[in-house]
Each structure stands twice: as C-alpha cells, then as structure tokens.
Amino acid sequence: MREFEINLEPLSPEVTLIHVAGWLDAHTFEYMEQTVNNLFAEGKSRLAIDLSQVEYISSAGAGVFIGSLATAHEKGGNIVLMNPTEPVKEVFDMLGLSQVFTFAQTKPAALTALKAAK
C-alpha cells in the first residue's frame, strides 16, 4: 500500500484547505471521509481540497467527494478541488464529476469560489 497523508490548513475562519497526498483508494478513503466528517462536525462546510500530490484515485476515493459535496451543500457550504494530477482528473472526467465540482488553481481562487457559496 502506498503512503497516504492528509494535512489541514485554515485559509480563513470559514474555509479549510485539505492537502491530500498519495493514493486515495479502497484502503485509504475511510481516512479521507473521517477527516471531512470531522470538519463538518466542527461546523466547517467550506472546503478546498488540494489534489496536486494525489498519484491515484479509485472510485471509492472519488465517492468520498460525491457524498461530501452533498453534505457541504446541505450545510450551506461547498467543496472546491484544487490542482488535480492528470490521473485524478481523468478519473473525474470518466465519472462525469468534472461537471459537478468547481476546480481552482490557486488558494485565492478557491477562497473566492467558496465565499460565493450560499
């Protein structure tokens, strides 16, 4: 199994940036899901997720984002995905998720997109 790592960075009082690295698959998706659920429990519903260090994502990994997006919307927030690697972008494209999620290249762009969420 590949190493998997998650780090949190507050971008503003309302927005949390989640840095993800490694393989997001059947072995690691629960850790990602728990991290996001913990943030929701803390009242954080505006999340930017940096995917620039994710080497691989499975359908189980992508499923975390689908469920999390619905929960974020229910709580008045949103999720913005940042800088997915080419293999990750391909999976999102194949699953039709590139039309569902907002993507940003920079922290300021993610902040702007998330502040617009109502």
- The single residue listed with the structure tokens 């691989």 is 56
Q: What is the pLDDT of residues 34-59, one digit of tens each?
A: 999 999 999 999 999 999 999 999 99
Per-residue pLDDT tens over the stretch 104-117: 999 999 999 998 76
Partnered with residue 6 across adjacent β-strands are 20
H/E run at residue 19? strand 15-24
Residue 7's region, left for phi above 0, alpha for psi from -120 to 50, else beta, is: beta
Q: What is the pLDDT of residues 17-37, one digit of tens each?
A: 999 999 999 999 999 999 999
Instruction: Indicate the domain borders of the chain.
Output: 4-115
Please tell me the predicted confidence (pLDDT) of residue 97: 92
d(C-alpha 89, C-alpha 111), whole Å: 21
Q: Which fold has domain 4-115?
A: Transcription Regulator spoIIAA (3.30.750)
Phi, psi (rounded to 5 degrees) for 104: -135, 150
Predicted confidence (pLDDT) per residue in 72-96, tens digit:
999 999 999 999 999 999 999 999 9
